[in-house]
Amino acid sequence: MRLNIYFSKKIILIFSLTFFVFLFFSIFLNWIDILRFDFSKTINSRKLFYLAVLKTPITVHPLIPVITLLTSLTFFVSISRNSELIIIRSAGRSILRSLLIPTLTILFLGVFVISALNPISTIMYKLYEAEVRSSSNSLNSYSLEDEGIWLREGFSDGQRVVHARSIAKVGATLNKVTIFEFDKDRIPNIRISAKTAIVKPNSWTLKDGKIWKVNRDNRPEDRAKSFNQYTIKTDLNFEKIRLGFGEPNQISIWELGNYIKRIEKAGFSTLKHKVYLNCEIALPFLMIGMFLIGGMLNMGHSKLSKTGLMLIVTIVLGIGAFLLNNLTQILSQNGAIPILLGAWAPPFITILISLGVILHLEDG
């Protein structure tokens, strides 16, 4: 029991230290990246540091498998140099039994990452985006609700709020569109209702609708006009609308299921979000695979002459597994392979190959 607790504490400590090292360097890199924006010249260094900290967790999250690999290397090299594994084997423990508690510890860390760190990173990134919009005076915003899509666009003379019930599956077309235009004092002056809106690069073409001009002297209905086709100039093209709702990694895993349902209802493709959700759920198993890769060549006697070579081989294999996981994720997002295959195949392939090598080298 004491040995199990010792191993678990050691792994958690190494993982935490490695994670904070990555956080530190990521804060520094994010600081430099934020300096590229024009608004960085108008804010002080404290605000820049605050923005860098808010952005850091979401940039470190994809590197969790690499952090696990480095944790594994440090752990196994440490216990090999101290001959702890030799003592454990002499006591009659098999290699698989010795790996059970460390593997379960990595599984616990993986569950903690996706259940706690993932929501925290998305919350911090939303705060980062809010601060950036505030600092850069950006007026464009997007939201996706059960009752449809809400868009907001700012321009020199005021702003425009758009509501659409859904998006057609074929073509860049919004259905049942309502547009409210406000002047610079936020007083409404125009309301437009249309059956459909065809989204073009620099304009929208509204069809089969009605326009009301609002003022305090006349009733809006007295000045209402119907139209078969009406064009408005706007910078909100279809790609901006699609990207405006956020990448999957910017949404908490606890909210992603309902978000996918809303996207499907609105008419957007949900393939990218479904792939990301499955990859996040599979992350603890990928971490186990990376941990076993770190141990499969570094569990024997520590000899300085071959330790360096084994470390290099292990790092190459670990990076290869990490890139394979990213490749299958991209293929799944493009529809080239099934979602379950793209998300779950790399973790289990890594685990099975690593266990096979460990059993072969250590004779069970």
Contact 314, 298 (CB under 8 A): yes
- Quick one: pLDDT at residue 305? 47
Q: Ramachandran region of residue 131, left (φ > 0), alpha (ψ -120 to 50) or beta?
A: alpha
One-letter identity of residue 324: L
Q: Which residue from 74, 75, 26, 76 is spatially nearest to 51, judged by alpha carbons?
A: 26
In Å, what is the CA distance from 298 to each residue of 101, 292, 323, 359? 17, 10, 22, 13
- Quick one: pLDDT at residue 363? 57
Report the distance separating Cα 244 and Cα 256, nearest Å: 16
Residues in the chain: 364
Contact 142, 312 (CB under 8 A): no
Q: Which residue from 26, 58, 17 is spatially nearest to 280, judged by alpha carbons?
A: 58
pLDDT string in tens for the chain (364-residue length): 787 888 899 999 999 999 999 999 999 998 888 888 766 677 788 888 888 899 999 999 999 999 999 999 999 888 877 777 777 777 667 777 778 889 999 999 999 999 999 999 999 988 887 777 676 655 455 555 556 777 777 777 778 888 888 776 555 788 888 888 888 777 888 888 999 888 888 888 888 888 888 776 667 676 788 888 888 888 777 666 665 556 788 888 898 888 887 777 655 678 888 999 999 999 999 999 999 998 887 776 555 446 778 888 889 999 999 999 999 999 998 889 999 999 999 999 999 999 888 888 765 4
Question: Which stretches does DSSP call E strand in 105-264?
Answer: 141-145, 148-155, 158-167, 173-183, 188-199, 203-213, 225-233
Q: Which residues pair with 207 in a beta bridge?
A: 196, 229
CA angle 62, 67, 72 (to 5 degrees): 145
Which residues 6+ apart lie within 8 Å of 229 measured at CB?
205, 206, 207
- Quick one: pLDDT at residue 217? 64
